[in-house]
Amino acid sequence: MIDFGLPDYPRSTARLAPSRPVVLCLSGHDPSGGAGLQADIEALLAQCCHAAPAVTALTVQDTVDVSDFRVLDRDWVLAQAHAVIADMPVAAVKLGMLGSVEMVDTVLMIMDKLPGVPLVCDPVLRAGGGGALGKEDVGFAMRERLFAVSTIATPNLPEARILAELPEGSADQCAEKLLPYIEHLLITGGHGDESEVHNRLYLRDGSRHDFTCARLPGSYHGSGCTLASTLAGRLALGQDLIGAVKTALDYTWRTLRDAEQPGRGQFVPRRLPLDFS
């Protein structure tokens, strides 16, 4: 018997039970289940949030790499998002793969309907295996237009270098270039080769908070999605930004420590407990 921690309401009154905070996810679909919307849904479930997954793009990929993708038409994405917004109180929004400059502008149209709602932007440009999930123009459009309405962006260092147009830049140099565009910037260090991973949170007031963790062996598919959705979930739950970043980094590290290898390629974070008995 699964214990979800809910009172045992009779069926007719169950609707009166308070709902978990709703997080609208605008991300791509990854049929391997490691990244994209499935990662968002699993990570948000683990935070006790309700994921409302709206598809921005379809991808063809396995745990090794991506071979193709198709971005949905603007009208389809707007219709999905508006259906959710008209029906549920959205407590936070998480952005993953957008895939095109048009989709960046579509997100701006959606955020117009959600003033004041925290927005976590994971600037996805590449799959874990290295294949492109959008041209660099998409990153520049995010920087120029989307960052202004985002609470925080969560690039890894290679993504931060693309966004900052500093191919050899350090995290500090990239942050200096990007902070005029965005209030909070979390540059993750998982792609480096130091023995520890240095994740750095930059605030527009000039302060920097460092979160260091042990580097785990192997490479992972969906770690960035897991981090950004968890962070959106923690903000939806009302946690303060620095606390939410710490919780999201800790949770993501544990999902990587316990990761599985379901295919021939990268490891997939284990975001949910396996044993519900």
Binding site for ligand PLP (CB under 6 A): 27-28, 30, 35-36, 59, 61, 66, 96-97, 124, 127-128, 133, 221-225
State residue 67 phi and psi, 5-degree precision: -115, -20
Residue showing the smallest CB distance to ligand PLP in the complex: 28
Spatial distance between the Cα atoms of 265 and 62, rounded to a whole number of angstroms: 8
Spatial distance between the Cα atoms of 138 and 118, rounded to a whole number of angstroms: 21
Q: Residue 133 or 175: which CB sits closer to ligand PLP? A: 133
Hunting for tokens 């900052």 — which residue is that? Answer: 164
Altogether, the residues listed in the chain come to a count of 277
The least distance separating ligand PLP from the CB of residue 70, rounded to whole angstroms, comes to 11
The least distance separating ligand PLP from the CB of residue 252, rounded to whole angstroms, comes to 10
- Euclidean distance between the first and final Cα of the chain, in Å? 6
DSSP 187: E
Residues near 89 by beta carbon (within 8 Å), at least 6 away in sequence: 22
169, 178, 117, 224 alpha-carbon torsion, rounded to 10°:
-10
Spatial distance between the Cα atoms of 183 and 179, rounded to a whole number of angstroms: 6
Q: Residue 127 or 162: which CB sits closer to ligand PLP? A: 127
The least distance separating ligand PLP from the CB of residue 10, rounded to whole angstroms, comes to 41
Q: Residue 12 or 133: which CB sits closer to ligand PLP? A: 133
Whether the CB-CB separation of 62 and 251 falls below 8 Å is answered with: no
Hunting for tokens 């237009």 — which residue is that? Answer: 145
Q: Residue 59 or 106: which CB sits closer to ligand PLP? A: 59
The least distance separating ligand PLP from the CB of residue 98, rounded to whole angstroms, comes to 9
Q: Residue 20 or 131: which CB sits closer to ligand PLP? A: 131
Hunting for tokens 């990662």 — which residue is that? Answer: 39
The least distance separating ligand PLP from the CB of residue 245, rounded to whole angstroms, comes to 16
DSSP 143: I
The least distance separating ligand PLP from the CB of residue 95, rounded to whole angstroms, comes to 10
Q: Residue 65 or 176: which CB sits closer to ligand PLP? A: 65
